[in-house]
Structure 1
Amino acid sequence: MKSMTTEEIINLLDANEDLNIIDVREDFEVENGMIPGAINIPLGSIPEKVNELDKSKEYILVCKGGVRSANACEYLESQGFQVVNLEGGMMDYDGELEFK
C-alpha cells in the first residue's frame, strides 16, 4: 500500500495540486475540521459508495490516526482503485482546515 506523510500532502495542497482526498472519519469527527477539498465517506459507508468513485483517479485516504484509512485503502485496492494512505492521519496533520 502506498502512503504519504502529512508534510507531503501539505506541500501538494500548497502547490494547488488536484487531489482526491477521502476522509473516512465519522460525522462527529469531521466537525472538528477536514483537509481542504476532502470529501467525507465514513469507513462503514465505503462499500456502498464505491460505485461513486472513479477508478481512473488516485485517492488519498485519511482518518484520525491512519489505521481506518489503511483499512479503507486495503478494501479499495482489492476493488481495483489506486489509493494512498495518509500516515498519522489528522493527529499528525497541522495544515489548513476546512469546516463543513
Structure 2
Amino acid sequence: MKEITTKELAQKVLAGEKLYIIDVREDNEVAQGKIPGANHIKLGDIPDKLGELDQKRHYYMVCRSGGRSGKAATFLEDKGFDVTNVAGGMLNWEEELEK
C-alpha cells in the first residue's frame, strides 16, 4: 500500500493541487474538522459507495491515525482503485481544518 505523510499531503493541498481525499472517520470525528476539500465516507459505508468513486482518479484515504484509512485503502486497491493512505492521519495534520 502506498503511503504519504500529512506534511507531504499538506504541501499538495496548499499548492492547490486537485486532490481526491476521502475521510473515513465517523460523523462525530469529522464534525471536529477535516482536511479542506476532503469528502466524508465512513469506513463502513465504503463498499456501498463504490459506484460513486471513479477508478480513473487517485484517492488519498485519511482517518484519525491511519488504521481505518489503511483498511479502506487496501479494500479499494483490491477493487482496482489507485489509492494512497495518509500515514498518521488527522492526529498529525497541522494545517487548518474545514468545519
TM range (shorter): over 0.9
Question: Which amino acid in the other structure matches residue 58 of structure 2?
Answer: E
The Cα shift of 1:85 comes to 0.2
Uncovered stretches (5+) of structure 1, i.e. residues with no partner: none
Distance 1:3 1:94 in 2: 18
Aligned to 2:73: 73
| Runs of 4+ with deviation above 3 angstroms | none
Q: Quote the offset at 1:14 in angstroms.
A: 1.1
TM (norm. structure 2) is 0.99
**Which TM-score applies when normalising by structure 1?**
0.98
Kindly provide the amino acid, as one letter, of the partner of residue 11 in structure 2: N
User: Is 1:26 matched up with 2:32?
Assistant: no
Note the residue ranges of structure 2 that are not aligned, 5 or more in a row.
none
Q: Report SS of the residue matched to 2:37.
A: coil
> Is residue 2 of structure 1 aligned with residue 31 of structure 2?
no
Following the alignment from structure 1 to structure 2, what is the Cα–Cα distance between the partners of residues 78 and 46? 13
| Residue-pair matches, total | 99
User: Once the two structures are aligned, what percentage of the paired residues are identical?
Assistant: 51
RMSD of Structure 2 on Structure 1 (CA):
0.4
State the alpha-carbon separation in 1 of the partners of residues 39 and 13 from structure 2.
Answer: 15
Looking at structure 2, the residues matched to 40 and 14 of structure 1 have their Cα atoms a distance apart, in angstroms, of: 20
- 1:98 equivalent to 2:59? Answer no
Q: Report the residue type matching 2:92 in the other structure.
A: D
- CA offset at residue 39 of structure 1? 0.5
